Amino acid sequence: MAVSHDAPLDATTSPASVETPQQAAPAKLIAALALAQFGAYLAVLTPVMVTLALRVSQIVPEADRGAALGQVLSVGALLAMLGNPVFGALSDRTTSRFGRRRPWLVGGMLAGLGGLAVVAVGTDVPTLLLGWTLAQLGINATLAALTSCIPDLIPQRQMGRVCGMVGMTTPFAIIAGSAMAQAFSGSMALAFLVPGVIGLVTVGSLAAVMKDRPARAGAFQPYSLREFLRSFWVDPRKHPDFAWNFAGRFLVFTGASCVTSYQVYFLMDRLGYSDEQVTGKLFTGTVAMVVAIVLGSLLGGQLSDRSGRRKPYVLGSSLIMAVSLAMIATAQSFGMYVAAVVVFGFGEGLYLSVDMALAAAVLPNPEESAKDMGVLNIGNALPQSLVPIVAPAFLAIGTGGGNYSALFLFGAIAAVLGALAVQCIRSVK
């Protein structure tokens, strides 16, 4: 991969390597974006939601599995979080004849597939940790480039609808991953590798149809240690709206991570399902949740574009997610759990359809969209690392452990605070 190391352009030269899209994006491109998002998240979320917890359960004693899962998830998510803006910055600077996004889209998925293969055959926690770290780094390189394809290729007037369509593929990835985990329950290798292969194929399809010009030589300063450190920092004094959006994302995804990271053990520990039963129960709940996410995504994208407003929908969706977390905290039956995840899904669908459009509107520099979207994605990824670290403290409250009520109420409070943070944004209605 070629990366630009030329000196910066002078003040009279435009640094833009891509023009802001004006014409409507063709249906073929929108479909390819949606499929690529589906494939990448299928590869990374299937382990997060189901298979990694089951893999840990196979090789770690029951008393230690929560801490072991937290270790693997938190370290992998932390390294992925740090890698996302770095990969984004490198993507912005890439001068390859294949473009500045394609090498990272395809190369990242190849690395991610290799990491998933290591997890599939690992027989101890250190090996799982090594494989999951590689998988997270690789797939996050893909996601850094993929996320920036939307502001690169989609005009603002289509942003809400396209984000809604792309965003709702994530829940389809979750349901497909749950189905695959159930179908391949007898083979952990297939449960990890099949989603990874699908991710590689769908991302490769996007790379084949998209227009992707390389960065213009001289558009950026050399990517030195100073630039590396700067890639993690956007001055909140100069860009307060970006900072508030980051804070809102971080808090909302903290609440969501309580569900994604611990629902398998919630079903096993509170509701009493065995390893063999939990994949089927999770699949049932996921189907119900996905229907709700699709409805929320379609409704949010359409209404947001029509009204020209983003913040009210982010506020409402975050509060709905908070209510659902409180419902899970008090759930004592599978029916109550399903009702709660349906409410969660509707709120998440609304949120995913609008938040990306809001994020694209507060980027400090469209020329460095991949780097800045990578910084924003830290707000998504950091909770995946922190929640497994702090969750044992909440689970240990009281006698006997397993205090899932405390964990999910913590998530509900975080989602409410995230809703309030977004209301401080001034440049977007």
Rg (CA), the chain: 21
Say if 218 falls within a structural domain. Answer: no
Residue 220: predicted pLDDT? 63
pLDDT given for residue 219 in this prediction: 60
Residue 130 lies in a domain: yes
- The CATH number of residue 365's host domain is 1.20.1250.20
For the chain, list residues with pLDDT below 50.
1-18
Domain span holding position 330 = 27-210+229-422
- On whether residue 16 sits in a domain, the answer given is no
Number of domains in the chain: 1
Question: Is residue 366 a contact partner of residue 155, using CB atoms and an 8 Å limit?
Answer: no
User: What local confidence, expressed as pLDDT, does residue 324 receive?
Assistant: 94
| Residue 70 belongs to a domain | yes
Q: Is residue 323 part of a domain?
A: yes
**Among 325, 344, 348, which Cα is nearest to 405's?**
325
Residue 8 lies in a domain: no
- The answer to the question of residue 187 being in a domain is yes
**Which residues lie below 8 Å from residue 324, measured CB to CB, with a gap of 6+?**
340, 341, 343, 344, 347
In a domain, 224, yes or no: no
In this prediction, residue 10 carries a pLDDT of 34
pTM over 0.85: no
Q: Which residues, other chains included, contact 12 with Cβ-Cβ below 8 Å and sequence gap of 6+?
A: none
pLDDT at 338: 94
Exposure on the CB side of residue 244, measured as CA atoms within 13 A: 21
